[in-house]
Structure 1
Amino acid sequence: MVLRVGLLVGRERSFPDALIAEVARRDAGVVVSYAELDITSIDRPPAYDVLVDRISHEVTCYQPVLKLAALHGTRVVNNPFWRIADDKLFGTALAARLGVRVPKTVVLPSKSYVEGVSSETLCNLRFPLDWQGAARELGFPMFIKPHWGGGFRDVYRVSSLEELWRAYDRTGTLTMIAQEAIPWSQYVRCIVIGKEHVLPALWDPRLGHFDRYVRASETMPPLEPALLARCVEDARTLCGALGYDMNTVELAIRDGVPYAIDFMNSAPDFDITSLGPEHFKWTVEKMADLVIKLAHEGPPKPAMSFKDVMR
């Protein structure tokens, strides 16, 4: 019996097409294709052994379908129960509890609220907010970014209370976090597949999108072996705790210590023009290993509780 892997994607083509070809080349009894979804009944989930989700963060109507598929035994990458529950404040706090260094971080009440929310509704919020206290704790410059979200949207670097307030006034109903800025000498991005396989690389966010991997060695010194090992260890720790089988973990190196900056990328950029040929080849091969393994393993053991379904 041929096992089926479905890919949920957006506009990307280089990675999914390469994964389809790589799995077909191995002739391992597994077929990968673009998934097809329709109106979905609770007793007729999509007929796939594995689903690789790279777009439900934007096409949110896929999220309940993925959870339904997981309930019926489909292996979903990344686990939809874990991923949808994540947020940046919790993730940062979890990282700190696990011994991974992170920037000082606070969560901000929203600037505005949906219609019908009044001052009475907000009676638990203290006014005026302690902006001066937050500034003393984090220092300037600092970054404010959405509690949920990605793609560097609605992210602001601010250098004073006045800049902070101006940026905050533009955030609307978004819930934002504020983080201290970490001045760094090196910046590392780790591609992590299957929670275990880690490819660390210098990555320069100051460069243009397509140069961040390929030209980073021109702008930063190489990583010493001990520091490289620490980055790999931190990436594994974070992905193991968060349950991500497909992720990228970004670490800023300050005074020889890695700080986890961005590590909840459930649909990381795997395009060949971004990764470059060598990183792309490694990523495709490791993802092929993962989906073939999950397809042959089959459904997890029957769940005894909702908590078990989420594992």
Structure 2
Amino acid sequence: MTPNTPSPTGSANWPFDTVLVANRGEIASRVLRTVRALGLRSVAVYSDADAGARHILEADLAVRIGGAPPSESYLSIPAVLDACRRTGAGAVHPGYGFLSENAAFADALREQGIVFIGPSVHALDVMGDKIRSKNHVAGFGVPVVPGIAEPGLSDDDLLGAARDVGFPLLIKPSAGGGGKGMHAVHRPEDLAEALATARRVAERAFGDDTLFLERLIERPRHIEVQVLADSHGTVIHLGERECSLQRRHQKVIEEAPSALLDEATRQRIGEAACNAARSVDYTGAGTVEFLVSDAAPDEFFFMEMNTRLQVEHPVTELVTGVDLVEWQIRIAAGEELPLAQEDVVLTGHAVEARVYAENPEAGFLPSTGSILALTEPAGEGIRVDSSLLPGGTVSSSYDPMLAKVIAWGADRGQALDRLDAALAGTVVLGVDTNIEYLRLLVNDDDVRAARLDTTLIERRLPGLPFRHVTAEEIALAAVLLVEAEPGGPHGSAGSPWHRGDGFRLGAARPRTVTLELDGGTTATVRLLRAGSGWSVSGEDGPEAALTVQVHDGGGVTIDGVRSRRQHAVHGDTVWLGEAGWSARLRRPGRRELLDAALSRITREEGTADPLVRSPMPGTVVSVAVQDGAAVQVGDVLVAVEAMKMEHQLTAALSGVVRLSLKPGDLVRAQQVVATIEAAPEGGPVPIPEEGNAA
């Protein structure tokens, strides 16, 4: 246990004075903030991967609960119960994700006399099963999407029922949420493979691979209603949130209220949400999610009820003035809600953007690393819920969300303007982020005009004008790397023999620096000493030589003009950032450059690379072929998972595959996971060696 500053005890009338937050990251920090504001003693838990995390520093006590894998820590009910016993916690706030909707966890706490800050086990049971909840609320007059939702459906059952449901359709896991395991299927011939993938993801994410099918409502809008209910019979809603800006069923930008609904529809959908909550005697904060037709906004269909706090809850807090976490705790302590429905007033508009450690231009591959530079925005109407600390580590073990930037305005336009400015003022160097992508979305014409639907992002992504590294930035990165070398003026002290400044009698020798840019391309520039700076030129650098100087204190001038770009150097990598944009430029080692050159020599120009590499660090979750099997172009070889994302690695050419991985193996970014022995052009695929056939 790690003690921090003690806080005062809570109300003597409450059944608990210590709250343990059974979560991590930004939600743990956010919940801890309210726990301490209420005068309660706070307890954080952490895994080995989070030993230096921010939420540990913000709690009165912090307890290690296990290893990095969630199954050994944040998903381990015995580990959390033991932490409660060791700290004397009388209540547990589960945040969202992990154990937040786990009925067995809530029941285990009840048996130990510990308050679960959430709904009853009955509500968790009913609403935690998507099939059961859909059938249940339909009996209370809540409209539902057409489909087939029955327990225990096999793949054959689902394949047989798909014709009646109709295409396109949506595969959904019964036990989960957050878009994980959901797959849109447009053609009957794609359904079998999609079912297999969905079951695998659902089993890993939720421990339950039960699936069901729904008709896919194309170009729908995702509207959810925040409900709040006490144990004395009061159930109210706090308006709706528009969550239609999604990618792969994962929300990206959310806002409150929705620009789509008129007041009459707002009242109807709010009452439907309250009826869903009343149907299970709900207590605490919950969210009822609906699909709403953009063409017919007065029609809405129940999707699911999330029996927990939502990631996007801050936008509701900003337009209502209600601290949802505070009322979760007060309701769990037995207090009555002081609000009636008519007391709820929505003031202004709020928009939230989720900051992820991912690379949008590379298919949203997750990113890991250390936070080398950090600036978080502040100002009128701006709120940041964050898990970030300078020097902190972003692990591959968990979800890639780093922070949420939220803006409030008197109207929607002002809220979007403030959010854009706040994102422009956000700097996170050391991992790839989606901040530039968020700014592009916030300024999209359809987003500004509130012409939203859940497929908008997928349609817009191919045409988004991402900023790319310029010749000037290549020159800047090369100088920063050279200056940071051991023995250099801004590097660590060392022997002059380790300096790479090209010292010799007579004229100085130019330095040649090759950099790897995002996407795997390389650029080479030449550096020559010019006074206290460097003159930079080269075929991939600026057309005219630039003078780049790094000053004491970290400032940089280019041709005498101070650069506004922020930078950080770590080993052989330079990070640059400006107005939400960021990029990393890496200097490959000599061995890497030689291997790349040899690879180009040994294969014809334009042909596919026989080496299959993992684009991200992660865990092998499935191996689709055996070593020595014959494969065709596009065949799936290995699936790697990191940060709850599964990436399938495929064959880029036909031939015989060579691999030695098995499920559970860890792989590094750019690690070779398979090699293809190519078939001769126009010839048959090589016959595998005897004993190695698939």
TM-score, shorter chain, exceeding 0.5: yes
Aligned with 1:289 (options 327, 330, 333): 327
CA drift at 1:32: 5.1
Give the Cα separation in 1 of the matches to 2:212 and 2:325. Answer: 32
Q: Tell me which residue corresponds to 2:23.
A: 9
Decide which structure has greater helix share: 1
Larger relative contact order (Cα-Cα within 8 Å, sequence gap ≥ 6): 1
Q: Per the alignment, do residues 95 and 39 of structure 1 end up closer, same or farther by CA in structure 2, a change over 3 Å counting?
A: closer
1:109 has 2:153 as partner = yes
Give the Cα separation in 2 of the matches to 1:133 and 1:66. Answer: 35
User: What are structure 1's unaligned runs of at least 5 residues?
Assistant: 25-30, 112-127, 298-311
Q: Per the alignment, do residues 69 and 9 of structure 1 end up closer, same or farther by CA in structure 2, a change over 3 Å counting?
A: same
2:131–2:212 CA contact under 8 A, matched in 1: yes
Equivalent residues in 2 for 1:59-74 (5 A)?
66-74=106-114
> What secondary structure is seen at the aligned counterpart in 2 of 1:212?
strand
> Which protein shows a greater Rg?
2
Give the Cα separation in 2 of the matches to 1:157 and 1:180. Answer: 10
Give the Cα separation in 1 of the matches to 2:86 and 2:275. Answer: 33
Aligned with 1:262 (options 304, 308, 317): 304
Q: Tell me which residue corresponds to 2:421.
A: none
- Aligned-residue CA RMSD (Å): 3.5
1:188–1:200 CA contact under 8 A, matched in 2: no
2:106–2:116 CA contact under 8 A, matched in 1: yes
Give the Cα separation in 1 of the matches to 2:278 and 2:33. Answer: 26
Give the Cα separation in 2 of the matches to 1:59 and 1:294. Answer: 17
CA drift at 1:53: 2.1
Q: Per the alignment, do residues 198 and 18 of structure 1 end up closer, same or farther by CA in structure 2, a change over 3 Å counting?
A: farther
1:228 has 2:266 as partner = yes
Give the Cα separation in 2 of the matches to 1:200 and 1:276. Answer: 8
CA drift at 1:69: 3.0
> What secondary structure is seen at the aligned counterpart in 1 of 2:31?
helix
1:159 has 2:203 as partner = no
Give the Cα separation in 2 of the matches to 1:66 and 1:142. Answer: 34
Q: Tell me which residue corresponds to 1:246.
A: 285
Equivalent residues in 2 for 1:111-190 (5 A)?
111=155, 129=157, 131-136=159-164, 138-170=165-197, 171-172=199-200, 174-183=209-218, 186-190=221-225
Give the Cα separation in 1 of the matches to 2:239 and 2:80. Answer: 41
Q: Per the alignment, do residues 248 and 77 of structure 1 end up closer, same or farther by CA in structure 2, a change over 3 Å counting?
A: same
Q: Tell me which residue corresponds to 2:93.
A: 52
Equivalent residue letter for 2:195: Y
Give the Cα separation in 1 of the matches to 2:306 and 2:223. Answer: 15
Q: Tell me which residue corresponds to 1:305.
A: none
1:147–1:176 CA contact under 8 A, matched in 2: yes
Task: Write the deviation string for residues 139-174 of structure 1: whole angstroms up to 9, x where unpaired.
Answer: 221110111112211110111211222211323462
Task: Write the deviation string for residues 199-258 of structure 1: whole angstroms up to 9, x where unpaired.
Answer: 2234133357442226x85xxx43122210111111111122233522221112233122
> What secondary structure is seen at the aligned counterpart in 2 of 1:259?
strand
Q: Tell me which residue corresponds to 1:304.
A: none
Task: Write the deviation string for residues 185-205 of structure 1: whole angstroms up to 9, x where unpaired.
Answer: 643221223362322234133
Equivalent residue letter for 2:145: P
Task: Write the deviation string for residues 48-96 of structure 1: whole angstroms up to 9, x where unpaired.
Answer: 44432225x5259x97564233235443232462325631100000011
CA drift at 1:294: 3.4
1:14–1:271 CA contact under 8 A, matched in 2: no
2:92–2:115 CA contact under 8 A, matched in 1: yes
Q: Which moved more, 1:156-165 or 1:86-95?
A: 156-165
Give the Cα separation in 2 of the matches to 1:45 and 1:90. Answer: 37
> What secondary structure is seen at the aligned counterpart in 1 of 2:145?
coil
Task: Write the deviation string for residues 26-64 of structure 1: whole angstroms up to 9, x where unpaired.
Answer: xxxxx15236676858xx798444432225x5259x975
1:142–1:178 CA contact under 8 A, matched in 2: yes
Equivalent residue letter for 1:181: L
TM-score of the pair, normalised by structure 2: 0.34
Equivalent residue letter for 2:95: R
User: What are structure 2's unaligned runs of at least 5 residues?
Assistant: 1-11, 46-62, 64-78, 204-208, 336-694
Give the Cα separation in 1 of the matches to 2:320 and 2:300. Answer: 24
Decide which structure has greater strand share: 2
Give the Cα separation in 1 of the matches to 2:157 and 2:104. Answer: 37
Give the Cα separation in 1 of the matches to 2:98 and 2:262. Answer: 38
Give the Cα separation in 2 of the matches to 1:141 and 1:184. Answer: 12
1:92–1:102 CA contact under 8 A, matched in 2: yes
2:148–2:161 CA contact under 8 A, matched in 1: no
Q: Per the alignment, do residues 169 and 14 of structure 1 end up closer, same or farther by CA in structure 2, a change over 3 Å counting?
A: same
Q: Per the alignment, do residues 154 and 287 of structure 1 end up closer, same or farther by CA in structure 2, a change over 3 Å counting?
A: same
Aligned with 1:75 (options 95, 112, 115): 115
Count of residue correspondences = 262
Equivalent residue letter for 1:260: F
Equivalent residue letter for 1:9: N
Give the Cα separation in 2 of the matches to 1:32 and 1:184. Answer: 47
2:317–2:324 CA contact under 8 A, matched in 1: no
Q: Per the alignment, do residues 271 and 296 of structure 1 end up closer, same or farther by CA in structure 2, a change over 3 Å counting?
A: closer
Give the Cα separation in 2 of the matches to 1:206 and 1:291. Answer: 30
Q: Per the alignment, do residues 206 and 200 of structure 1 end up closer, same or farther by CA in structure 2, a change over 3 Å counting?
A: same
Give the Cα separation in 2 of the matches to 1:130 and 1:262. Answer: 20
Give the Cα separation in 1 of the matches to 2:267 and 2:92. Answer: 31
Give the Cα separation in 2 of the matches to 1:293 and 1:263. Answer: 19
Q: Per the alignment, do residues 289 and 206 of structure 1 end up closer, same or farther by CA in structure 2, a change over 3 Å counting?
A: closer
> What secondary structure is seen at the aligned counterpart in 1 of 2:279?
helix
Equivalent residue letter for 1:204: C
Identity between Structure 1 and Structure 2 (%): 16
Give the Cα separation in 2 of the matches to 1:99 and 1:292. Answer: 30
Give the Cα separation in 2 of the matches to 1:87 and 1:168. Answer: 18
Q: Per the alignment, do residues 5 and 66 of structure 1 end up closer, same or farther by CA in structure 2, a change over 3 Å counting?
A: farther
Equivalent residue letter for 2:17: R
2:283–2:331 CA contact under 8 A, matched in 1: no
Give the Cα separation in 2 of the matches to 1:21 and 1:210. Answer: 29
